[in-house]
Amino acid sequence: MRFLSFAASVVALFICSIARNAISAVEPAGEKPPLTFDEFFDSVSFDGVSISPDGNSVVLVTDRPDWDANRFRTDLWLYRAGGQQGTLAPLTQSGHDHSPQWSPDGKWIAFLSDRVAASGEKSAEEVDKAEACKSEDPDQVYVISAAGGEAFPVTQGEDSVHAFAWSGDSRAIYFAARIELSDEEKEARKKEWRDVWRFRESERSDALWRVNVAEVLSERVAGKVVSDLKAQTAEAGRISERAMALATSPNGKRLALFTEPRSERDESLDEYAIYVIEFAASGTPSAPRAVSRAQAVYESMRWAQDSRHIFFGFYSGAIDGRYQDTQPRVYWEDAGAPSENGTNAAAPITSRWAAKFEGAVNGYTVLSDGGLFVAGRIGTEVQPYTQNSPDGEFAKHSAWPGTYEQLSAATNSPRVAFVYSSLAKPSEVYIADSVAGIAAARAITSFNRVFTERALPQGKPYRWTADDGTTVEGMLIYPPGKMGEKNLKLFTLIHGGPEDADGDFFEADWYQWASLAATNGWLVFEPNYRGSTGYGDAFALGIIPHIVSRPGKDILEGIDSLVKDGIADPNHLTVGGYSYGGYMTNWLITQTTRFKAAVTGAGAVEHVANWGNDDTTMDDAYFLGGLPWEAEANYNAEAAIWQFGKVTTPTHVVGGADDIRVYVGEDYLLERALHTRGIPSSLLIFPGECHSLEKNPWDGKIKVREELKWLDKYGTQ
């Protein structure tokens, strides 16, 4: 059920100077021109931020649309401290590069890239449905000097590298990829099965490898053309699952890995685990040893400074009990001290950090002193916190209002880097000399400068009381120059997840387009309904098994409160959302005829077919209280389709043709119901797109263009 999160190629050296005073006063809206539709979709987002071990450089990943190439491009940039402002310059320019990692000695940067297509075409037998929603070409590991120069590959193969990590001595890289078939096995498969896709039987587990980067580099320096990297690659182990993250301990003697199902479908929790590989004095790796196998989907793995504990968060589930989708948390696992022969059988011990924090841990990184630097959400704010030990004080630091994310800390310096934004301040990357000095951080990018030169909407939190006495909160985003005005036409834009929240942060894409709707004259209401994070675990869990009816009441009661307070015009109410926001929109138009227009995408109208066709069946069953044959009443009671005889709202629908997160058939079912009822409707299907509409930037732009037209056509009547 969970959602997820331009311009031409940059070829010339870009040096940016940024004033040290990063936060400037917002000028009155009347002194700036309005933001244009095209400017909104030319925004730059940051997919990664990584500060160097010494804290003097930052490598960052920009994500921007390439309108001519009909794709998004991701590039690496390198900031170097020095002088008054430092310099920022492109490190790579292929448009296909992401996931950078510094070598421990700070001299090299490794990253993933699909810049070179695989030779030959993959048969249906070799590509599963989950892979079809990702890059068509395989990701391989490349390395580039931190001093600049040409990147060179250190891995090769027909399958993507799933995860990688530097060795402790910076001379090698460990990586994971599916076990390759021999030429004989491929020929035998082709002969027997032709292009038939065997749904489960074709899944393959992973092998772990070690490539000698130092030797590859030595051969390149000597002028040797390295055409076969396998000569420098040795197998380091095998696992029955798929490796989704690797990390080498600071002392270089251990390799930790997260695993997930080979299929990448969340059908059970059996394949999710944390393993550790021990390296003997000779460098020989031990067999992978499971140190944690909880009722959760692990993520965000980092070693502690002691090379004994492994920090991690979780995407869904619970670490210390039965499966339940609490707010995001952070833990560490005691992997034990390695013994003389490189093995350890001690029982692992799990401890929770920030255990008394009522909000959500949206992200974290490990500081040079061994403590944690955390982005913690309370309500509509995501602020910086630190903690020195599991039972130590979880301390909030003085910082700007808004949202901190993409945290990165240097291993040999107190410096930190991060992305910061607010409604009035577009996303940029910042660096601070320490967490204590985060309020004096300086921006090191200015990719979204145009937004500071436009009249941006202003917003504020809004609270109301639900029918059961619970306080619920959301954001109100006003049209530029109309902050605090009354009787405004209202667009309720519902976030996905459901375990997410809207707040004080910069929004500029096809999914988060509240500022664009506000610029077009709408008062945008973003409700953080029951199920949202930042309000305590009980609030987050309060939708089970009433996954649309309970949050639906919260949202409708919030709209009622806005009307009662004279803020919203009761004659011009509209609603919309994508993913879980689409679920809610589809439900709400069956509960009231007050909405003049609705825009919805990738949302279910029933739950049985969706359970059987998406990739998060385990999560779906959890939210509804059981499997379809165990909780039939819940599946039916929470299905909008059974109540479509009451719908009168003109509804615009969108979906990705290959969406397997929310079965695209739900979009067709919704449109069929609307059409059969004679209700004005439209359905846009984006070919080749999956849930996140990340293949072609034109798809997201067309989506929002048509949604705005729909709101204006029907919502202002």
Query: 634 phi and psi, to 5 degrees?
Result: -65, -45
Q: How confident is the model at residue 126 (pLDDT cuts 50, 70, 90)?
A: very low
The pLDDT of residue 562 is 98
Local structure of residue 346 (DSSP, 8 states)? P
CA 55 to chain centre: 25
The pLDDT of residue 29 is 47
Residue 702 to residue 709: CA distance in whole angstroms: 11
Q: How confident is the model at residue 3 (pLDDT cuts 50, 70, 90)?
A: very low
Residue 668 to residue 57: CA distance in whole angstroms: 49
pLDDT (mean) for 20-28: 39
Q: How confident is the model at residue 619 (pLDDT cuts 50, 70, 90)?
A: confident
Whether a cis peptide bond, with omega within 30° of 0, leads into 138 is no
Task: Return the higher-pLDDT residue of 25 and 83.
Answer: 83
Lowest mean pLDDT among 336-345, 371-380, 478-487, 575-584: 336-345
pLDDT (mean) for 213-228: 84
Whether a cis peptide bond, with omega within 30° of 0, leads into 498 is yes
The pLDDT of residue 158 is 87
Which among 661, 679, 592, 567 is positioned nearest to 620, based on CA atoms? 661
Task: Return the higher-pLDDT residue of 717 and 155.
Answer: 155
The pLDDT of residue 620 is 87
Residue 505 to residue 502: CA distance in whole angstroms: 8
Q: Which two tokens stand for residue 88?
A: 């920022």
Helix axis angle, 549-564 to 580-588, nearest 10°: 70
Q: Is the pLDDT of residue 168 over 90?
A: yes
Contact between residue 544 and residue 475 where contact means Cβ atoms under 8 Å apart: no
Which amino acid is present at 491?
Answer: F
Q: How confident is the model at residue 376 (pLDDT cuts 50, 70, 90)?
A: very high
Q: How confident is the model at residue 30 (pLDDT cuts 50, 70, 90)?
A: low
pLDDT (mean) for 677-702: 97
Residue 458 to residue 656: CA distance in whole angstroms: 32
Contact between residue 207 and residue 176 where contact means Cβ atoms under 8 Å apart: yes
Which amino acid is present at 212?
Answer: N
Q: Is the pLDDT of residue 57 over 50?
A: yes
Local structure of residue 602 (DSSP, 8 states)? S
The pLDDT of residue 269 is 85
Q: Give alpha helix (H) positions in 112-250.
A: 129-132, 183-193, 213-221
Query: 160 phi and psi, to 5 degrees?
Result: -70, 150
Phi-psi region of 99 (alpha: psi -120 to 50; beta: other; left: phi over 0): left
Residue 72 to residue 376: CA distance in whole angstroms: 30
pLDDT digits 0-9 by tens, 466-511: 999 999 999 999 999 999 999 999 999 999 999 999 999 998 999 9
The pLDDT of residue 408 is 98
Percent of the chain with pLDDT over 90: 78
Q: Which two tokens stand for residue 106?
A: 């700070």
Q: Is the pLDDT of residue 691 over 60?
A: yes
Q: Is the pLDDT of residue 715 over 70?
A: yes
Contact between residue 189 and residue 125 where contact means Cβ atoms under 8 Å apart: yes
Q: How confident is the model at residue 14 (pLDDT cuts 50, 70, 90)?
A: very low
Which among 110, 83, 107 is positioned nearest to 98, based on CA atoms? 110
3-state secondary structure of 583: helix
Query: 670 phi and psi, to 5 degrees?
Result: -60, -45
Q: What is the 3-state secondary structure (H, E, C) of 484-545?
A: CCCCEEEEEEECCCCCCCCCCCCCCCCCCCHHHHHHCCCEEEEEECCCCCCCCHHHHCCCCC
- The residue whose two tokens read 């145009």 is 450
Compute the Cα dihedral for 367, 370, 371, 372 and give only its sign. positive
Q: Is the pLDDT of residue 1 over 90?
A: no
The pLDDT of residue 284 is 87
Contact between residue 254 and residue 263 where contact means Cβ atoms under 8 Å apart: no
Which of 318-327, 333-342, 641-650 has the highest mean predicted lDDT (pLDDT)? 641-650
pLDDT digits 0-9 by tens, 510-523: 999 999 999 999 99
Lowest mean pLDDT among 16-30, 395-409, 574-588, 692-706: 16-30
Using CA atoms, how far residue 511 sits from 14, 150, 406, 543, 693, in Å, is 29, 36, 19, 23, 9
Using CA atoms, how far residue 680 sits from 594, 647, 652, 710, in Å, is 15, 11, 8, 10
Q: What is the 3-state secondary structure (H, E, C) of 613-668?
A: HCCCHHHHHHHHCCCCCCCHHHHHHCCHHHHHHHCCCCEEEEEECCCCCCCCHHHH
Q: Is the pLDDT of residue 225 over 50?
A: yes
The pLDDT of residue 132 is 57
Task: Return the higher-pLDDT residue of 128 and 241.
Answer: 241
pLDDT digits 0-9 by tens, 538-581: 999 999 999 999 999 999 999 999 999 999 999 999 999 999 99
Residue 388 to residue 394: CA distance in whole angstroms: 8
